[in-house]
């Protein structure tokens, strides 16, 4: 790990986004509340919050950061679910990895909950994919 002990504690904020491509039928089922395992967006929100808080356990060189807030939002289109994760903390190091891990966990959770709708006859996922995961904003200030 990098020694950050000499860095001042300041306000940190990071926002990450990503999306999962799904069939329009799956999106309709999500909107109608007909997913067998429950509401994937609610479960994905909790997964994102838990993952962001556990980032230091998942990525070896990340510092353990006590987070002030993890916010997760979803936007549905005809064939995607976009996840957006905002993380804030008072810390010596940034929180962009926590935001990225939160987005990844959210999208993987959605996939897990709808995979039975996405499989083809051979049990494969020819069109389902997670893409465009990125940090869209990072802030550092007093």
> Choosing from 3, 39, 79, 112, which is the catalytic residue?
112
- Catalytic-residue membership of 39: no
Whether the CB-CB separation of 105 and 47 falls below 8 Å is answered with: yes
Instruction: Tell me how crowded residue 94 is: count the other CB atoms within 10 A of its CB.
Output: 20
Instruction: Tell me how crowded residue 132 is: count the other CB atoms within 10 A of its CB.
Output: 13
**131 Cβ partners below 8 Å, 6+ apart?**
18, 19, 20, 21
Whether the CB-CB separation of 136 and 15 falls below 8 Å is answered with: yes
Query: Which residues does residue 129 pair with via DSSP β-bridges, in sequence order?
Result: 21
Catalytic sites, residue numbers: 112
């Amino acid at each position: 790990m990098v020694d950050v002990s000499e860095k001042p504690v300041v306000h940190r904020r990071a926002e990450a986004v990503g999306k999962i491509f799904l069939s329009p039928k799956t999106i309709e089922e999500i909107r109608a509340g007909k997913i067998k395992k429950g509401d994937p967006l609610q479960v994905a929100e909790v997964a994102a919050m838990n993952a962001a808080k556990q980032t230091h356990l998942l990525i070896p060189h990340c510092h353990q950061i006590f987070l002030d807030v993890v916010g997760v939002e979803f936007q549905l289109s005809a064939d995607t679910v976009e996840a957006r994760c905002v993380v804030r903390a008072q810390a010596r190091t940034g929180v962009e990895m926590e935001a990225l891990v939160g987005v990844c966990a959210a999208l993987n959770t959605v996939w897990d909950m709808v995979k039975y709708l996405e499989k083809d006859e051979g049990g494969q996922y020819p069109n389902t994919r997670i893409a465009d995961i990125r940090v869209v904003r990072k802030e550092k200030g007093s």
